[in-house]
């Protein structure tokens, strides 16, 4: 039974498999290899996936969901008609449709797949992706980082045996950079970096924002349908500009038709803030690989958004040379995933190739440190597995009690690069009991094991008792069998949707959380602060303070949402 490779993308998904003759992309029922990552529910309550669903985005926006990959692993729920779906559920529909296409083409049943994920996916998102595969009836033993998959696809086509190259992957929703070193049949990922909230869609969003601004329209005042129509116009405009010098956006709002012609020069100018955001990950990846751009043999562009001439010339200026784009940018990742699937099967022609990947972010724990005044400061981040450690990797660190008669050591696991844990992402926590003793006399050995799929396991051993505790990063991460998947579908049909009580504040909080996820840098810290203060105000129930904080938060959020369009 062949294993297929799947690129589960933000906007499109593809599947491929590899034979001795080479890689094949699997066409869907419409004969296309790209299946839009869009899921809808028709009026009879039937699920629609792909192109058809995508068309209905405009006509039935409230019964259609797209871009759900951005929220995989979160509590976000999509209400489509009478159903409520998690991002995993929706991803599972897409995966299932790809699986059926593959079965139709290969004439045998497919039970296992290798799925690609953005390098910057954290543990929670990775586990959610695996679960989506299981919900679709696929065994997913192996996840592969998208830039790595792209590099594998590229590397295998390379004529020369030894090469160091950089993969610049700008997809629909994410941006990834990775640097690889190929020698003696080894493909070694040296570094990866990226921006989980930057992709081709942001250019579309930017166009929409500018359009609204130009005609003095409020985003909130437009209904879903108009908004979806405008998105389609912006999308088309963006595509048009890759082929011709100008493009026209038209949109009818309240009976009035607005028309806007943009040329490449204007588009380039408006895109500058987005382009600026592309630079940091490139720099980080080079720095972490201790390479200068001169030492790279090649720059490879991957991902649909790199078709924009703007991106091509940006990369050329950045690296001072013309990038290579030999493989179809949309298809590279899927082909790479297919190759990794074949490697997993240990197929003859790939036997001599070994791939090593790295951990894309630093993993560590929260510690208390002595401060200058002889007291203790909490909330410091202590790295255990540094980013760009080759995986699989396992590291142990020892931690001591800080007070006399301390009863337990609290372990909080974080991911990120900041000095303070509050600015990093919390993955989970665990309390390890220790026998009471003098400060510093009791200790816990903490072992982090990061497996080849980028999934973390944490084990803590109390030294004096030799007791071992294991941390489950998330309790709800449990495999579901096929029957349970079916059961889940039946359950979904029975779910009656309760109208959530109209709580402005909660809505604002949710919005704050969402935007917090989408923002980076100082805006993110600010939002976190405002959110915390707003929550505190809510807790205190001081209405005056709540109003004040809500106002400030709203302002911040609006600012943060506008920023990419500045």
Contact positions toward another protein, by CB under 8 A? 183-186, 272, 276-277, 279-280, 282-283, 286-287, 292-293, 317-320, 344, 352, 354, 356, 381, 390-394, 405, 417-420, 423, 451-452, 501, 520-523, 525-526, 529-530, 533, 539-544, 546-547, 552, 563
CA distance 46 to 164: 49
Question: Is 232 designated active site?
Answer: no
Question: Is 146 designated active site?
Answer: yes
- Shortest Å, Cβ 166 to another protein: 11
- Shortest Å, Cβ 459 to another protein: 15
Catalytic residue (one of 88, 123, 134, 169)? 169
Catalytic residue (one of 7, 288, 330, 518)? 7
Nearer to another protein, 279 or 487 (CB): 279
CA distance 187 to 419: 32
Residue that has been written with the tokens 């080079």 in this structure: 286
List C-alpha distances in Å: 41 to 35, 82, 99, 312.
17, 9, 20, 38
Nearer to another protein, 43 or 348 (CB): 348
- Shortest Å, Cβ 60 to another protein: 31
Residue 510 backbone phi and psi in degrees, to 5? -60, -40
**Which is it for strands 298-302 and 163-170: parallel, antiparallel or unpaired?**
parallel
Q: Are 186 and 169 within 8 A, CB to CB?
A: no
- Shortest Å, Cβ 552 to another protein: 7
CA distance 125 to 309: 32
Nearer to another protein, 125 or 453 (CB): 453
- Shortest Å, Cβ 33 to another protein: 28
Q: Which pair of structure tokens corresponds to residue 256?
A: 């009035």
Nearer to another protein, 319 or 399 (CB): 319
DSSP sequence for 461-472: EETTTTEEEEE-
Nearer to another protein, 258 or 533 (CB): 533
How many Cβ atoms sit within 10 Å of the Cβ of residue 299?
21
How many Cβ atoms sit within 10 Å of the Cβ of residue 244?
10
- Shortest Å, Cβ 140 to another protein: 15
Nearer to another protein, 203 or 381 (CB): 381
**Which is it for strands 456-462 and 393-400: parallel, antiparallel or unpaired?**
unpaired
DSSP sequence for 26-74: PP-TTS-S-EESEEEE-TTS-EEETHHHHHHHHH-GGGEEE-GGGGTTS
- Shortest Å, Cβ 283 to another protein: 6
- Shortest Å, Cβ 286 to another protein: 6
**Which is it for strands 425-433 and 186-195: parallel, antiparallel or unpaired?**
unpaired
Nearer to another protein, 280 or 461 (CB): 280
Instruction: Determine the Cα angle at 71 with ends 93 and 492, to 5°.
Output: 45
List C-alpha distances in Å: 463 to 123, 160, 369, 467, 472.
28, 52, 21, 8, 21
- Shortest Å, Cβ 25 to another protein: 25
Residue 172 backbone phi and psi in degrees, to 5? -65, -40
How many Cβ atoms sit within 10 Å of the Cβ of residue 497?
11
**Cis bond leading into 471, ω under 30°?**
no
Catalytic residue (one of 101, 146, 201, 298)? 146
DSSP sequence for 482-503: HHHHHHHHHHHHHPPPPPPP--
Radius of gyration, CA atoms only, the chain: 25
Nearer to another protein, 246 or 457 (CB): 457
Catalytic residue (one of 69, 127, 130, 190)? 69
Nearer to another protein, 85 or 319 (CB): 319
How many Cβ atoms sit within 10 Å of the Cβ of residue 523?
18
Q: Which residues are catalytic?
A: 7, 69, 146, 169
């Amino acid at each position: 039974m062949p294993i297929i490779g799947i690129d589960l993308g933000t906007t499109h998904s593809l599947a491929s498999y590899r034979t001795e003759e080479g890689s094949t992309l699997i066409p869907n029922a419409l004969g296309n290899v790209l299946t839009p990552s869009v899921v809808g529910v028709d009026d009879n309550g039937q699920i629609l996936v792909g192109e058809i669903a995508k068309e209905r985005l405009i006509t039935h926006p409230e019964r259609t969901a797209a871009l759900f990959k951005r929220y995989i692993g979160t509590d976000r729920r999509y209400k489509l008609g009478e159903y409520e779906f998690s991002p995993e559920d929706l991803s599972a529909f897409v995966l299932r449709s790809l699986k059926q296409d593959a079965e139709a083409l290969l004439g045998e049943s497919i039970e296992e797949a290798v799925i690609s994920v953005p390098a910057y996916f954290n543990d929670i998102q990775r586990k959610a992706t695996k679960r989506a595969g299981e919900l679709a009836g696929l065994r997913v033993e192996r996840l592969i980082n998208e830039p790595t998959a792209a590099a594998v696809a590229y590397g295998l086509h390379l004529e020369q045996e030894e090469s160091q190259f950089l993969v610049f992957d700008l997809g629909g929703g994410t941006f990834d950079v990775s640097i690889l070193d190929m020698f003696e049949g080894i493909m070694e990922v040296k570094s990866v970096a990226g921006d989980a909230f930057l992709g081709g869609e942001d250019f579309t969003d930017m166009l929409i924002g500018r359009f609204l601004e130009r005609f003095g329209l409020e985003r909130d005042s437009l209904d879903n349908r108009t908004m979806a129509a405008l998105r389609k116009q912006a999308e088309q405009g963006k595509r048009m500009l890759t082929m011709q010098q100008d493009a026209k956006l038209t949109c009818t709002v309240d009976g009035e038709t607005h028309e806007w012609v943009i040329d490449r020069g204007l588009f380039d100018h408006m895109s500058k803030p987005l382009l600026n955001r592309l630079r940091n990950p490139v720099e980080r990846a080079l720095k972490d690989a201790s390479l200068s751009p001169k030492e790279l043999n090649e720059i490879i562009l991957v991902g649909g958004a790199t078709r924009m001439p703007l991106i091509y010339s940006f990369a050329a200026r950045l690296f001072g040379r013309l990038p290579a784009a030999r493989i179809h940018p949309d298809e590279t990742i899927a082909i790479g995933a297919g190759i990794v699937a074949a490697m997993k099967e240990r197929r003859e022609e790939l036997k001599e190739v070994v791939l090593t990947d790295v951990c894309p972010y630093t993993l560590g724990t929260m510690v208390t440190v002595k401060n200058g005044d002889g007291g203790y400061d909490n909330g410091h981040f202590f790295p255990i597995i540094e980013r760009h450690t080759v995986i699989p990797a396992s590291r142990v660190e020892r931690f001591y009690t800080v007070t006399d008669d301390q009863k337990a050591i609290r372990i909080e696991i974080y991911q990120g690069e900041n000095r303070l844990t509050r600015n990093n992402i919390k993955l989970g926590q665990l309390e390890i009991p220790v026998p009471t003793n003098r400060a510093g006399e009791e200790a816990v050995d903490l072992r982090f094991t990061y497996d080849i799929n980028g999934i973390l396991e944490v084990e803590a051993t109390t030294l004096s008792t030799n007791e071992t505790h294991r941390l489950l990063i998330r309790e709800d991460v449990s495999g579901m069998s096929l029957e349970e998947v079916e059961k889940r579908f039946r359950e979904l049909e029975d779910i009656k949707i309760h109208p959530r009580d109209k709580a402005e504040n909660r809505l604002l909080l949710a919005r704050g959380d969402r935007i917090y996820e989408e923002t980076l840098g100082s805006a993110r810290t600010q939002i976190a602060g405002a959110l915390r203060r707003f929550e505190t105000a809510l807790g205190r129930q001081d209405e005056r303070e709540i109003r004040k904080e809500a106002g400030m938060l709203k302002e911040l959020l609006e600012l943060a949402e506008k920023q990419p369009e500045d």
